[in-house]
Amino acid sequence: MKLLKSVLCLFVVVLTNSCEQEEFINNLETKSNLEFNKKKSGKLNQALSTSVYWDKAQQTHDFIFGNTLTSYNSYRANLTTNVNNAWEWYNMSHIYADAEMVRQGDNRYESYMNNTYNWMANMWDYSPSYIGGYFSAANLDGSNAGGDKYVDDNSISGVTYLDCYNTTTGTQQQQYLNSATAIANFLMTSGIWDYTFNGGFWWNDGAKNVAPNVKPTQTNALAMQLFIRLYGITGQPYYLSWADSIKNWLETEMFDTSDGLFIWQIEPNGVKRYEKFTYDNAIMIEAYLNYYQVTGDNSYLNKAQNLGISLNTLLWDQTAGVYKFNTTDPRVNPAWCGWGSQAMIKLHEGDGNPAWLDYAQDNIDFMNNFNRNTINNGYYHFTNLDGSLSDGRYESVDQAWMQRIQAMLSQYR
């Protein structure tokens, strides 16, 4: 993969109001305009007024507001062991959830979205000897940011900012795009991608070929989403080049033709782990749909549909009516299993088939029936397929994902 350094040198890390970025091209083809068709409407979608899922999304946010949101606009990692820690992808998931509330027309959530976005500047690496990227953890006030910089965490941050881009206007919208491109620049120049095992991003910027660093599907698939969506917005060919390189590596090295699903990861010793995870494959469904939206190529819609069928064949529990965490751990987690609902909703938006929504809804219904505390409206970390409690912690990321996917579903059910 060519880094196109002569082009990349034009990019700088942009996370503050005072920075400006060169205007991007705007003569994109109509077939790419799905990325732009989700601007905020200014008023609440009418379907939401009668949706129990919209009510529960709001109730979940109320739990978040009362328990994990801090006065600094960061979020506690959980309510047990890490009450004084803020983790990057946890905070980002809350921004992601609030962006969906705004997309549905409820602008009350825009301040939560923007305030936490501003707080995230505390986690960015500004050191002159490096090229940016978000650290994985910080104190609640933003001090002492540190830890490895994870490709999946940074990639979902970029994806989230593009959702925020779609729900804002003016200067704020440009800031979200600037931040997404800064993350992409970090990924392209950090050296975390290499050709060990024929390509792919390592999980983080720590030592390569040393456990616990691995090359996972979800890490690369989230980066694939970020790059193809940036290409759809900006038209810059190097984003497409990176997206294509990631896609080709995933399809060559990580796709299991025996069941039509993507495997978990490659270990430092080159051993492939063939466990299948719901969220890995849900993320790949979304990545293919992103390709379809940007290119208009129906083959990517077909790939997303086929992957959805395979996901529902192997990781859907017919008896319980819910997605399993993975093929060796059949428990239920709101974030990682909830990702399956997001993928199904997006498949419905891609092809109009309501059957996808049935999976999304049944999955959410299980978690409302068994993962949800009906007194405080918080969600437990893990339950078993029979509905019994496996892990009663309240992780803030689980709350964020239940807010988000129920807001998404409320548009249809």
Q: What is the CATH number of the domain that holds 390?
A: 1.50.10.20
Q: Which residue has the higher pLDDT, 104 or 33?
A: 104
Q: Which residue has the higher pLDDT, 253 or 20?
A: 253
- Residue whose token pair is 């899922």: 53
Cα separations in angstroms, 62 against 58, 252, 276, 376: 6, 44, 34, 9
Other Cβ atoms less than 10 A from the Cβ of 97: the count is 28
106 assigned to some structural domain: yes
Determine the structural domain holding residue 104 and report its residue range.
39-409
Q: Is 251 within the bounds of a domain?
A: yes
pLDDT band for 33, please (50, 70, 90 cuts). very low
* Position 8 pLDDT exceeds 80: no
Question: Which pLDDT score, from 0 to 100, does residue 242 have?
Answer: 98
pLDDT of residue 51: 96
Q: Is the pLDDT of residue 189 over 90?
A: yes
pLDDT(23) > 90: no
Q: Please give the average per-residue pLDDT across 296-316, as a whole number.
A: 98
Count of structural domains, the chain: 1
Band (pLDDT 50/70/90 cuts) for residue 228 is: very high
Q: What is the mean pLDDT of residues 222-251?
A: 98
C-beta atoms surrounding 257 within 10 Å = 6
Residue 366: pLDDT above 90? yes
Q: Residue 15: which pLDDT band, with cuts at 50, 70 and 90?
A: very low
> DSSP 3-state assignment of 396?
helix
Greatest CA separation for the chain: 57
129 pLDDT band, cuts 50/70/90, is: confident
Which of 106-115, 129-138, 248-257, 356-365 is predicted with the least confidence, judged by mean pLDDT? 129-138
On the question of pLDDT at 24 being above 80, the answer is no
CA distance 383 to 30: 44
Residue 11 lies in a domain: no
Average pLDDT, the chain: 91
Region 214-218 average pLDDT: 98
Mean per-residue pLDDT, 303-317: 98
- Taking residues 343-352, report their average pLDDT: 98
Q: Is the pLDDT of residue 220 over 80?
A: yes
Give me the mean pLDDT over the 278-285 stretch.
99
Q: How many CB atoms lie within 10 A of CB 84?
A: 11
Assess if residue 350 is contained within a domain. yes
| Assigned domain for 10 exists | no
pTM: 0.90
* DSSP structure class, residue 330: -
The DSSP letter of residue 120 is G
**pLDDT digits 0-9 by tens, 245-277:** 999 999 999 999 999 999 999 999 999 999 999
How many whole angstroms separate alpha carbon 118 and alpha carbon 265? 33
Establish how many alpha carbons lie within 13 A of residue 302's alpha carbon, considering only the half-sphere containing its beta carbon.
3
Determine contact, residues 235/181, Cβ cutoff 8 Å.
no
| Span between the terminal Cα atoms of the chain, in Å | 44
What's residue 130's pLDDT? 80
pLDDT of residue 43: 61
Classify residue 391: in a domain, yes or no: yes
Does residue 34 form part of some domain? no
Would 132 be classed as within a structural domain? yes
Contact at 8 Å (CB) between 276 and 218?
no
Q: What is the pLDDT of residue 209?
A: 86
Map tokens 């002492």 to a residue: 144
The number of helix segments (H) and strand segments (E) in the chain equals 13, 11
Q: 261-262 and 255-256 as β-strands: parallel, antiparallel, unpaired?
A: antiparallel
pLDDT beyond 90 at 343? yes
